[in-house]
Amino acid sequence: MWNEDTWLTTTIRPAGLLDSTAVTRLADSVAILSTTCDLVVLDLSACAVEELEQLAEALRLPARRLAAQGGCLMLRGASDDLIAAMSPAPLAAVG
């Protein structure tokens, strides 16, 4: 994105229940980071996602934005249901 030799990576690790309000806050953060980072790692291993479809919808645009710039949204600890709901958005999913 900025320089072929350097990458800016950010990791976000929410904890607890991601209800509708928390999903909105998280999605806003990921959207902002997708404009300034090359790789955004969203580690969901410490949370429960209550609003799966809302989260998937909110992450599609940042995932596309990152991919278009040569970057990536990486989901860690995401459920198979969330990964399926994100399709066909470009992302990397790690167990």
Cis peptide before 88 (omega within 30 of 0): yes
Q: What is the pLDDT of residue 30?
A: 95
Question: Residue 45 pLDDT > 60, yes or no?
Answer: yes
The domain limits of the chain are: 9-94
CATH number of the structural domain 9-94: 3.30.750.24
Predicted model pTM: 0.86
- Residue 33, sorted as left (phi over 0), alpha (psi -120 to 50) or beta, turns out to be alpha
